[in-house]
Chain A
């Protein structure tokens, strides 16, 4: 008997996957030369699964600012925000994030995961109710588990189901917080934010929107799905990450709510962890400048997303419902998905393999994501490789049409 025995089924599942010739958890990039190119086991690969939406990780100005901060302030803060871990840069970044989002307040976290964990567990007290979309990210589920109040799931992207559940709560004590994501990370589908905002207004509840995959991607100023749909002011809290379009690591929450600043003394995932290193603060600040000043990056990203999505849809793959920088190929079962993923890697194309229960349904996904740094030639090469492997495995055809369900 061992304390680890409970993980035997998980270990068996992993072994089974490796037996199918795919071990996605063992992938190691031994060098990375651009947002689109790396080597794995010494062989060059095209990166088609990175969340590096604007391709800023190798931007010369971003790197220069990071190096300067590293030299000036050292490698790390060695402390938490409430002790010795607040440098001028942390305040500067919070002011800048608030300015970009046109909100009064901003709180930064050391990861995006911690931002959701911290906000949900802190905002939802024992008399409050938290409503989350059924397809929420693990960080939202985990924040919900740590929240003192009741947690209720509503059907994915279903404003009517949300409204029904809010009606059932009428007369309940406490506040109600609704949590949605701008773009959902597995299939790349957007939330129907205009409809959800209308439900929110009708019921007078508080809305938190996670724009992790949509900041820098959607909206006239790149502020995300709420801005794109013209309901930006309905988000009481916007949570996001520095680790996708901004190319570094860390998380944030912005809000106009009076009294927000007290969270610095109440939110444990903010308080009890080392703050972001100065070099990360500096690269993030520079990346924010690019989001603001280079809308052409978003246009390029959208063009790349459209090219990949339409190329795969035309070939007959079953995809997510909407074009977005996340393009997922829906496959019938794990053996096919594992074989597909392994064959693509052998062809020099790296994508993410997403398996249930991390996926919205029992279908495994080959999850790809594009960046503004991809050339059309690279996208076309990826499409050709995916189509060739798909044909070989017999997963393109009449019964694999692109659809929402």
Chain B
């Protein structure tokens, strides 16, 4: 299924709050690599997304996520909807 760009936008808007001002964030940005976030910050960030979309993300699926688009796709498969 195509990646829901509204979910991508929600993820990017949140990432902008926890990265240095002016950080370039695109759907292809690697969350750990390009944005330089440590694993603890990523885990807490995922918990915030779980609240927003009212889903639980199993740990093995977090490990497979590289880019923001991957994350959006994983959330979508777990039932995330941008207008929820």
A151 at the B interface (CB under 8 A): yes
Closest Cβ neighbor of A149 among chain B residues: B58
A357 in contact with B58 given A134-B43, A153-B43 (CB within 8 Å)? no
Residues of A within 8 Å of B41, CB to CB, are 362
Chain A residues contacting B47 (CB-CB under 8 Å) are: 134, 153, 155
Q: How many A-B residue pairs have CB under 8 A?
A: 32
Closest to B60 in A: A151
Q: Does any Cβ of A come within 8 Å of B19's Cβ?
A: no
**Alpha-carbon distance between A169 and B60 when the two chains are bound, in angstroms:** 17
Q: B40 contacts A153, CB within 8 Å? A: no
Name the interface residues of A331-350: CB closer than 8 Å to any CB of B.
none
Partner of A151, one of B39, B54, B58: B58
Selected from B38, B39, B43, B56, the residue in CB contact (under 8 A) with A152 is B56
Is there an interface contact between B38 and A362, defined as CB atoms closer than 8 Å?
A: yes
Q: Mark A353-365, 1 if CB is under 8 A from B, else 0.
A: 0001100011000
User: How many Å lie between the Cα of A361 and that of B41 in the bound state?
Assistant: 9
A168 on the B face (CB < 8 A) = yes
Question: Which residues of the other chain, A, contact B40 by a CB distance below 8 angstroms?
Answer: 356-357, 361-362
| Residues of chain A from 118 to 173 with CB closer than 8 A to chain B in the complex | 134, 144-145, 150-153, 155, 164-165, 168-169
The CA of A140 and the CA of B57, in the complex, are separated in Å by 18
In chain A, positions 66-100 with a C-beta closer than 8 Å to chain B are none
Interface residue ranges, B against A (CB under 8 Å)? 38-41, 43, 47, 54-60
In the bound assembly, the distance between CA atoms of A150 and B58 in angstroms comes to: 6
What chain B residues lie within 8 Å of A169 (beta carbons)? 56
Q: Report chain A residues within 8 Å CB of B38.
A: 356-357, 362
Q: Chain B contacts of A362 at CB under 8 A?
A: 38, 40-41
A363 to B41 Cα, complex, angstroms: 12
Contact at A357–B56, with CB atoms within 8 Å?
no
Shortest C-beta distance, A329 to chain B (Å), equals 19
Across the interface, A357 reaches (CB within 8 A) one of B39, B54, B55, B57, namely B39
Q: Could you say which of A151, A169, A361 has the most chain B C-beta atoms within 10 Å of its C-beta?
A: A151
Residues of chain A whose beta carbon lies under 8 Å from any beta carbon of chain B: 134, 144-145, 150-153, 155, 164-165, 168-169, 356-357, 361-362
User: What separation, in Å, do the CA atoms of A155 and B59 have in the docked complex?
Assistant: 13
| Cβ contacts under 8 Å, A145 to chain B | 59
Minimal Cβ-Cβ distance residue in B for A362:
B40
Distance of A139 Cα from B54 Cα, bound (Å): 28
- Most A CB within 10 A of own CB, among B38, B47, B57: B47
Q: Which of chain A's residues have a CB closer than 8 A to the CB of B39?
A: 357
Give which listed residue, B43, B55, B57, B59, contacts A144 with CB less than 8 A. Answer: B59
Report the bound CA distance from A151 to B59 in whole Å: 6
- Closest residue of A by beta carbon distance from B50: A165
- How far does the Cβ of A131 sit from chain B's closest Cβ, in whole Å? 9
Quote the shortest CB–CB distance from A363 to chain B (angstroms).
11
**List of B residues within 8 angstroms of A164 by Cβ:** 54
Residues of A near B59 (CB, < 8 A) are: 144-145, 151-153
CB distance from A150 to the nearest CB of B (A): 4
Contacts A134-B43, A144-B59 known; list 9 others, CB within 8 Å. Answer: A151-B59, A152-B58, A152-B59, A164-B54, A165-B56, A168-B55, A168-B56, A356-B38, A357-B40
In whole angstroms, what is the CA distance A160 to B36 when docked? 31
- Closest chain-A Cβ to B79's Cβ sits at a distance in Å of 9
Which of B38, B40, B56, B59 counts the most chain A CB atoms within 10 A? B56
A-B pairs, top 10 by smallest CB distance, nearest first, are A150-B58, A151-B59, A152-B56, A165-B56, A168-B56, A357-B40, A357-B39, A152-B58, A151-B58, A362-B40
List of A residues within 8 angstroms of B58 by Cβ: 150-152
A164–B47 CA distance with the chains assembled, in angstroms: 12
Cβ-defined contact, A168 with B54, below 8 A: yes
Output the nearest chain B residue to A155 by Cβ-Cβ distance. B47
Most buried by A among B41, B47, B59, B60: B59
In the assembled complex, the CB of A313 is this many whole angstroms from the nearest CB of chain B, namely 26
Closest residue of chain B to A361 (Cβ to Cβ) is B40
List 25 A-B pairs, Cβ < 8 Å. Answer: A134-B43, A134-B47, A144-B59, A145-B59, A150-B58, A150-B60, A151-B58, A151-B60, A152-B56, A152-B57, A152-B58, A155-B47, A164-B54, A165-B56, A168-B54, A168-B55, A168-B56, A169-B56, A356-B38, A356-B40, A357-B38, A357-B39, A362-B38, A362-B40, A362-B41
Residues in B whose Cβ lies below 8 Å from that of A134: 43, 47
